């Protein structure tokens, strides 16, 4: 469950005042800081969701995560690096996009798929497939 701080409430209140037109900023500084706040808040939520999915997948004993969504792929693959630096937890759960998994299943050479660009190594999964 996410905890909402007083700072969060004050920023949201300021945002609503700007939308209602009750507050007219003389510069774009307030608008920019609100935009950064919501982007940061959304990034925090995305990372928390990714962490929960990776933790549950690891507990279930899965070999990897496969996803259809390109953004989910990035969030789960790159997100593990952020989880390591933010929460000091390391999972090393391989993440594959469905097209990569399908290509591997059809016998395409992993070198042709540029799998080296993944942040989390796929060696264990590739060994099980071959």
34 CA to centre of own chain: 21
pLDDT for residue 7? 56
Question: What separation, in Å, do the N-terminal and C-terminal C-alpha atoms of the chain show?
Answer: 41
pLDDT for residue 53? 94
pLDDT for residue 9? 52
pTM of the model: 0.66
Splitting the chain (130 residues) into consecutive groups of 10 residues, what average pLDDT does each group show? 50 50 46 51 84 95 94 92 93 96 93 93 90
Q: Among the CATH numbers 3.40.50, 2.60.120, 3.40.1350, 2.40.50, which is that of 6-129? A: 3.40.50
Domain boundaries, the chain: 6-129
pLDDT for residue 41? 67
């Amino acid at each position: 469950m996410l905890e909402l701080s007083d700072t969060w409430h004050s920023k949201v209140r300021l945002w609503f005042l700007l939308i209602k037109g009750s507050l007219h900023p003389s510069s774009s500084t307030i608008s920019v800081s609100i935009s950064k706040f919501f982007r940061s808040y959304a990034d925090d939520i995305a990372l928390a969701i990714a962490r929960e999915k990776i933790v549950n997948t690891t507990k279930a004993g899965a070999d990897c995560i496969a996803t259809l969504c390109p953004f989910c792929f990035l969030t789960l693959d790159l997100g593990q690096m952020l989880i390591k630096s933010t929460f000091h937890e390391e999972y090393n759960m391989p993440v594959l996009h469905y097209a990569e998994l399908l290509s591997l299943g059809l016998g395409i050479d992993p070198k042709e798929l540029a799998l080296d660009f993944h942040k989390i190594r796929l060696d264990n999964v590739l060994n099980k497939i071959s």
